[in-house]
Amino acid sequence: MTAPKSNKRGRAALVVVLCLLALCLAAGGTVYGLLSRKVKAIQTGADFDFRYTVTSTASRTPALYGVLEQVGATQGTVSGQYAPGRFQFTLTSQKNGSAFTRVYIDANETLYDAGQLYTYLRGEIVAAAPLAGLVLPNWSMGSYISQTQLASLLGVELSAVEMQDMTNLTLGLGALQKVTPAGALDGYTYYQLPAGETDLTCIVGLPLKELFSGTTPFHILLTIPEHEVRISLSGTVTAAETAVVAPTSRMSDADVDNFVQLRQALEKFAEVLQKAAS
């Protein structure tokens, strides 16, 4: 006996629904697999290149934010490399497109390239007042200042300049939490990264359609309560074999004493130029 047409239509509809469900599950599995491979590749090492904007959340200017303000670099670019538990990157000011310092971070220390920062500031002053080049010497000491030395120099707590919390961020796919942050970009899917026992908040967004690409666009929203700043980064990350090595050219404590004198000389010249300009 032939089945009623209504039953045939019902079975046909059920088959269509099951096929659609299977396709959706397959697509979801594909995206998850691609995301998993992307995450695993980046976990082992990556090159990155971002435009950044830093804003303060404090009533008084935080220490590191104050340094960025001083060199006109609360906006700019950051490029560098990541290896498990280590970062090294160069910061470039949007003001003139020049690199003003480099930073190295691992689980034990944060190092800042004070030599490059001094050379950058000296160049700014000499460009405005060429005779200053006769008085302000070129840099001749170790390049990198430690977090302990910098805290002492700025007269702040060590926590105000160290950035080891960054190494606690993990890109484990199973622990990612999907979120929809303020300022989300169209076409991007956002996940919040686990931050261990720190107060960091790191949200990473990427367009899932770009998972096939070797270089992936990222939008990162980072809040660092310890430094009372929010950072927005937009750029690309490329999985790569990296060798992030701690800098060997470091300032001695005697160098720091000399740096204090150089810093004071820079500040005096900057004050004179500001008064002349006004």
Check whether 233 has a pLDDT greater than 70: yes
pLDDT digits (tens, 9 = 90+) for 41-79: 777 888 999 999 999 888 888 878 888 888 888 899 999
Q: What HEC string does 149-194 produce?
A: HHHHHHCCCHHHCCCHHHHHCCCCHHHCEEECCCCCCCCCEEEEEC
Nearest to 116 by CA among 87, 88, 145, 95: 145
pLDDT value of residue 197:
64
Residues 182-198 as b or e (16 or more Cβ within 10 Å = b): eeeeeebbbbbbbbeeb
pLDDT value of residue 25:
35
CA distance 13 to 9: 6
pLDDT value of residue 268:
83
Taking the alpha carbons at both ends of the chain, their separation in whole angstroms is: 100
pLDDT value of residue 24:
34
CB atoms near residue 228 (< 10 Å): 19
Burial group, residue 215, by CB count within 10 angstroms (0-12, 13-18, 19+): middle
Sequence ranges of the domains in the chain:
10-277
Which 8-state DSSP code applies to residue 250? Answer: B
Beta bridge partners of 56: 229
Q: For 54-68, 160-174, 236-250, 259-273, which range has the lowest pLDDT when averaged over its residues?
A: 160-174
CB 161 within 8 A of CB 146: no
The per-residue pLDDT of the chain, averaged, comes to 79
Which 8-state DSSP code applies to residue 133? Answer: G
